[in-house]
Chains A and B, each alone.
Chain A
Amino acid sequence: MTDSPDDEYGELLRRALSAEANSVVPSPDGLEIIRARIERRGLRGLMWWRAGASVAGAVLVAAAVVVVVPQFRHDTKQVHSNEVNFTVPTSPEMSATSRPPLRTAGPSPAPARPGVTPPAPPVASKSGTPSPKPSAKPSRTPKPSPSPTCGTTSPGTTVEPEETQKGCGEPTETPAPPEPSETGGPSEAPCAAGECPQDPQRTPVQTDSSPAPAARP
């Protein structure tokens, strides 16, 4: 009564499993196979260790070189700074468009020169060199400087006097304006129009300022 069906089948199962297991005879070279696998695994692990150690050593050497030799760091910093310099000017130009009134006054003549008065700057530069001489002597300035400078500028750019005034305004700072003022007689013909009167008004002031620094040195 105590034997339940599970116990019967349990015993049956136990005997069957034992008989089945006893029929199994493992190969005698199991231990050699296990040792061979362990050796293979060890070699594999050693290879990984070597690879890792070599990589770590390379990284260490590179880091040491960078730390010890300061040139590398400076070079890298310069490279970074150059890159920044290249980037900075681009962005301000874009932003400069948002500030037209303030900065356009300065840079505007620069773009205007190449477009409208390519001859003006050279004239100014040419007049700039002879001008100091006449500027030093107000009496002489009218004779030499006016004829080549204003003569070339005014006739060549008769339509552009207003612009040239600006352009010449820079050169006039030195000699150009004084020409008409003092040489009103001879140069009045080329100046003509109502420009001359304007120039004299500006020129004396500018000439006063210009000769002073020019004379000092």
Chain B
Amino acid sequence: MPPNEPAERKPSGKAERPTDVTTETLVADRSLGAVPVGWDADMAVTALYSAHYRSLVRLAVLLVRDMATAEEVVQDAFVAIHGAWRRLRDTDKALAYLRQSVVNRSRSVLRHRAVVEKYAPKGLPDAPSAENGAIGELERSAVIEALRGLPARQREALVLRYYGDLSEAQIAHAMGISKGAVKSHTARGMAALRTSLEQLS
């Protein structure tokens, strides 16, 4: 994350964060923010892939809840940025372009999936695996399940905020909404998540 926006990203004023929490390069505009201007589309895609592909796939997995779909979404985003590379005004914002593309495509996937699930026969719920016996796993699965029960916009805001570790401005840009809407979605999502987790406990 850009160091000049810590206050905006962390309203609670919490300075330290567990080191085991990985934010990877979703926040790494600085890691590959400076894509050389002379690079062509192929070189840029290769560099962006090596730097951000994994993190973008993980972001997409959290949004679409499906590994194969998440990879497809991210690959589509890379293909799109390859085609739009010449039209990209600021190559330093390539990661922002990719992130926004992933969010929009994930939203489209979820919308399509909602329509399909609406008319498709409902199957049995996923059976918990043996690994879920651990307490941490239970907690984690409970949080993930509660997160999946949230509306799409609230889930996007929370994932971009707590996994991507993005600022409100970056979340607003990625989601295509205003900062105020980001705050609203985040607050409502956290309230719903807390209610859901309290009911489970």
Mark A1-35 against chain B: 1 for CB-CB distance below 8 A, else 0.
Answer: 01011110111111111111110101100110111
Q: Nearest chain-B residue to A21 (Cβ)?
A: B58
Q: Tell whether, in the assembled complex, residue A6 and residue B190 are in contact, meaning their CB atoms are under 8 Å apart.
A: yes
Q: Which of A18, A30, A41 contacts B71 (CB 8 A)?
A: A30
Most buried by B among A11, A14, A22, A26: A26
B17 contact set on A, CB distance < 8 A: 14
Roughly how many angstroms separate A12 CA and B162 CA in the complex, as a whole number? Answer: 10
Is B121 interfacial (CB 8 A cutoff)?
no
Q: Which residues of A contact B75 (CB under 8 A)?
A: 30, 33-34, 37
Complex Cα spacing A41 to B143, Å: 40
Task: Give the size of the chain A interface in residues (CB under 8 angstroms).
Answer: 30
Q: How many residue-residue contacts, CB under 8 A, span A and B?
A: 103
Which residues on the A side are within 8 Å of B158 (C-beta)? Answer: 13
Query: Bound state CA distance, A5 and B76, in angstroms?
Result: 38
Q: How far is the CA of A16 from the CA of B145 in the complex (A)?
A: 11
Contact present for A34 and B79 (CB under 8 Å): yes
| Per-residue B-contact encoding for A83-100, CB less than 8 Å = 1, 0 else | 000000000000000000
- Which B residues touch A56, using CB under 8 A? none
Q: Give the residues from 52 to 86 in chain B that come closer than 8 angstroms, CB to CB, to chain A.
A: 53-54, 57-59, 61-62, 67, 70-71, 74-76, 78-79, 82-83
Per the bound structure, the CA–CA distance linking A30 and B70 in Å amounts to: 12
- Cα of A5 to Cα of B12 in the assembled complex, Å: 11
Determine if A31 and B46 form an interchain contact, defined as CB atoms under 8 angstroms apart. Answer: yes
User: Is A38's beta carbon under 8 Å from chain B?
Assistant: yes
CB-CB < 8 A to B53: which residues of A? 26, 30-31
Q: Closest residue of chain B to A14, judged by CB?
A: B162
A177 to B79, alpha carbons, bound, how many Å?
103
Residues of B within 8 A of A31 (CB): 46, 49, 53
Which residues of chain A have a CB within 8 Å of any CB of chain B? Answer: 2, 4-7, 9-22, 24, 26-27, 30-31, 33-35, 37-38, 41
Interface contacts beyond A17-B163, A38-B79: sample of 7 additional A-B pairs, CB < 8 Å, sorted by A: A11-B18, A14-B17, A14-B163, A16-B147, A18-B22, A35-B42, A41-B83
**Which B residues form the contact surface with A (CB < 8 A)?**
12-14, 17-18, 20-22, 42, 45-46, 49, 53-54, 57-59, 61-62, 67, 70-71, 74-76, 78-79, 82-83, 136, 139-140, 143-144, 147, 158-159, 162-163, 190, 193-194, 197
